[in-house]
């Protein structure tokens, strides 16, 4: 789902609407119809900088926690079943 966008003028004309939308999910603030800034809740920001904003990520097995590495390597040894 695409990020909701608000023109920069919303910051002064209707800041409450902008804040309410940002409480639910990050929103883009646009200038000349192009995204320039992102506004989000502090909780979303903390999750982002902690590396937990998006659980989809790629790891090398050497960087994985031991329990996760063991599970991943065991799964790779299993035959593929359709």
The residues spanned by each domain of the chain are: 4-77
Whole-model pTM: value is 0.59
Tens of pLDDT, residue by residue over 2-37, are 799 999 999 999 999 999 999 999 999 999 999 999
Per-residue model confidence (pLDDT) at position 73: 83
Per-residue model confidence (pLDDT) at position 50: 79
Per-residue model confidence (pLDDT) at position 11: 94
Q: CB neighbours of 55 closer than 8 A, spacing ≥ 6?
A: none
Rounded CA-CA distance 34/47 in Å is 25
Model confidence band, residue 71 (pLDDT cutoffs 50, 70, 90) = confident
- Residue 47 class from Cβ within 10 Å (0-12 exposed, 13-18 middle, 19+ buried)? middle
């Amino acid at each position: 789902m695409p990020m909701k966008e608000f023109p920069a003028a919303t910051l002064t004309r209707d800041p409450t609407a902008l804040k309410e939308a940002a409480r639910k999910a990050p929103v883009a603030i646009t200038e000349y119809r192009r995204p320039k800034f992102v506004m989000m809740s502090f909780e979303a920001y903390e999750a982002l900088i902690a590396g937990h904003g998006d659980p989809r990520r790629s790891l090398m097995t050497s960087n994985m926690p031991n329990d996760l590495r063991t599970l991943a390597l065991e799964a790779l040894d299993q035959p593929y079943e359709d």
